[in-house]
Amino acid sequence: MSRADRALLSVEHLTMRFGGLVAIDDVSFEAPRAKITAIIGPNGAGKTTVFNCLTGFYKPTVGRLALRHPRRGEFLLERMEGHAIPAAAGVARTFQNIRLFPGMSVLENLLIAQHNALMRASGYTVGALLGLGGYAAAERRAIERARYWLDRVGLVDRADWNAGNLPYGAQRRLEIVRAMCIEPVLLCLDEPAAGLNPRESAELNALLTFIRDEHQVTLLLIEHDMSVVMEISDHVVVLDYGRKIADGTPEAVRNDPAVIRAYLGEPEEEARE
Amino acid sequence: MGYFLQQLINGLTLGMIYGLIAIGYTMVYGIIGMINFAHGEIFMIGAFISIITFLALGLVGVGWVPLALLIVLLATMLLTSVYGWALERVAYRPLRSSPRLAALITAIGMSIFLQNYVQLLQGARNKPLQPVITGGMRFLEDGEFAVNFSFLQMLIIALTIALMIGFTLLINRTALGRSQRACQQDLGMAALIGIDVDRTISLTFIMGASLASVAGLMFLLNYGVIDFYIGFLAGVKAFTAAVLGGIGSVPGAMLGGLLIGLIEAFWSAYFSVEYKDVAAFAILVLVLIFRPTGLLGKPDVEKV
């Protein structure tokens, strides 16, 4: 198997400029298929900007973002419309500050993520209005899938709650399984462990490895919590000031002098102070 | 008692028409946060398409009233939706990411444009229509006064209730309605889970326009005369209804429409006809002072 076959996502020479500010400067990396790739780096290193480029929030100034979908062929994400990135290419995302639909129930949050399949099944609502059977069956399948994921994260008994009323940790889990309901091949998680207690953080690790191993989804993870990064990621990319400074296995990255310098500063400088 | 009942019927009929228009305002506000001031003109265009279709049917000799009504209803819903869709596509979509004020001014501009467009094409004179539905039920006869509940009023009330039930089901029970509610809460997130936001917004305009066109048809049947300027006052009243009910809330728009209709009818009946608009707007002012989110509106949730 060649290198390109193993990588689900290839980011090549990604550059993002905002006026004179270079947020990402010529970053290239690959996310291997069905593996967890962590993107780490100090604050302001450009991690979230990479996500924003991948999910169509920003159009990259320069660069190529190629996603090789196992069933649908290759997509160039930088050329796609916002909603087509999740719908066609299968890229899902969660946010640092949770973005559920707070006024909808937990179940509806998962159903809405299966919107496109339901719309097709309902003959774009015409069928549903006429009460055709296909829609009811599709809706049942959608509820079945939602139930499967709610079961995974222990929220089945709160399916009727308003999503906005869930406790913080449960909202995080719900956001991740909502992303899974669009049946993504690439799941981008922006600081999923932020604000979780150690027990919740361990549950999160279990959920993410389950998603990787059982559903063969490639994960891209921005995380500051090094216990999460070191424990579950297969591959780590380190950014600093918009540049990639290291790329490799967690052990290799942990011992990389450039990474230590970025996080802790120059030893000489510290000595002088 | 009879007089009161009569005003109640009149007020309900008027309120139904306002309610149907108000839904368009409230849905568009809910989904893209702008007041579509051209919506009153969409209602007026609906009334014009209705009268043109009626006259055309008269020419080809479709005389059976229920059939004629059905054809007119479908024609005006269909053609007015095209106007609603085009309005969004041409005037609002290019401004989606610009400041709200730009969209608001564009809406006022489109309103003026559409008024003049109809005036140019159809002329400025009043357009009368022979009564299509006549007769009614008389009850509580008391000397020369009797409560008159016309078949037309029954039709307006029944059709509006049917449309509102259908519409509520559409919003709450179908995948399409779910996607509209999702867009209402967080457009960016809706796109990120694969919802085609542009299409959802287009559909919202189409739905609002088709409901307004039905209101236009009802207005035409009820008053028997229309001109290119009817959209302004009806639009402002329906907007008031939407704000009164709580803008962004569909049941609120229906309730607000009914209230405005009833206030107008009772004020004209018991106080003075000249000041009926003042009464409606004064209620609006009071509601906004004491309950700024409207009767059924929820406080604005902070969006991230």
Question: Cα angle at B182 between B180 and B183, to 5 degrees?
Answer: 65
Give the closest-approach CA distance of B193 to chain A in angstroms: 5
Closest CA to B149 of B133, B165, B167: B133
> How many inter-chain contacts (A to B, CB under 8 Å) are there?
89
Q: What is the pLDDT of residue A28?
A: 92
Q: Tell me the pLDDT band of A89, cut-offs 50, 70 and 90.
A: confident
Percent of chain A with pLDDT strictly greater than 90: 23
Residue A120 neighbours by CB distance under 10 Å = 14
A236 touches A229 (CB < 8 A)? yes
Q: Do B176 and A102 touch (CB under 8 A)?
A: no
A72 touches chain B (CB under 8 A): no
- Whether the per-residue pLDDT at B141 is higher than 90: the answer is no
**Domains A1-90+183-273 and A99-182 equal at CATH topology level:** yes
- Whether the per-residue pLDDT at B266 is higher than 80: the answer is yes
- Whether the per-residue pLDDT at B14 is higher than 50: the answer is yes
B275 touches B267 (CB < 8 A)? yes
Cα A144 to Cα A156, A178, A181, B64, B259: the distances in Å are 11, 13, 11, 50, 43
| pLDDT tens digits, B145-180 | 788 888 999 999 999 999 999 888 888 888 888 889
Q: Tell me the pLDDT band of B304, cut-offs 50, 70 and 90.
A: very low
Give the closest-approach CA distance of A268 to chain B in angstroms: 42
Give the closest-approach CA distance of B25 to chain A in angstroms: 21
Q: Do B185 and A104 touch (CB under 8 A)?
A: yes
A92 touches chain B (CB under 8 A): yes
Residues of B in contact with A129 (CB under 8 A): 170, 174
Strand B225-226 and strand B127-128: pairing?
Answer: antiparallel
Q: Collapse the DSSP code of A221 into the 3-class scheme (helix H, G, I; strand E, B; otherwise coil) and give the result.
A: strand
Superfamily of domain A1-90+183-273: P-loop containing nucleotide triphosphate hydrolases (3.40.50.300)
Give the closest-approach CA distance of B184 to chain A in angstroms: 9
Q: Do B191 and A92 touch (CB under 8 A)?
A: no
Q: Do A108 and B178 touch (CB under 8 A)?
A: yes
| pLDDT tens digits, A213-265 | 999 999 999 988 888 888 889 999 999 888 898 888 988 888 888 888 887 77
In a domain, B35, yes or no: yes
In a domain, B123, yes or no: yes
Give the closest-approach CA distance of A51 to chain B in angstroms: 12
Percent helix / strand / coil, chain B, rounded to 5: 75, 5, 20
| pLDDT tens digits, A34-70 | 899 999 988 888 889 999 899 888 889 999 999 988 8
> Mean pLDDT, chain B, as a whole number?
89
CA distance B265 to B189: 44
In a domain, B256, yes or no: no
Q: Which residue has 């919107």 as its token pair?
A: A115
Q: Do A101 and B197 touch (CB under 8 A)?
A: no
Number of domains in chain B: 1
What would the two tokens of residue B33 be? 């946060």
- Among the four given CATH numbers 3.90.1150.10, 3.40.50.300, 2.60.120.10, 2.40.30.170, the one describing domain A99-182: 3.40.50.300
Q: Where are the domains of chain A?
A: 1-90+183-273, 99-182
| Host domain of residue B168 | 2-137+147-231
A125 touches chain B (CB under 8 A): yes
What residues 195-254 of chain A have any CB closer than 8 A to a CB of chain B?
A: none
Nearest to A122 among B174, B195, B197 (CB): B174
CA distance A85 to B194: 7
Q: Do A115 and B304 touch (CB under 8 A)?
A: no
Residues of A in contact with B304 (CB under 8 A): 95, 97, 99
What would the two tokens of residue B50 be? 């209705």
Of A51-60, A100-109, A114-123, B214-223, highest mean pLDDT: B214-223
CA nearest to B185 within chain A: A101
Give the closest-approach CA distance of A143 to chain B in angstroms: 12
Q: Give, as one character, the DSSP assignment of residue A42.
A: S
Nearest to B185 among A92, A97, A102 (CB): A102
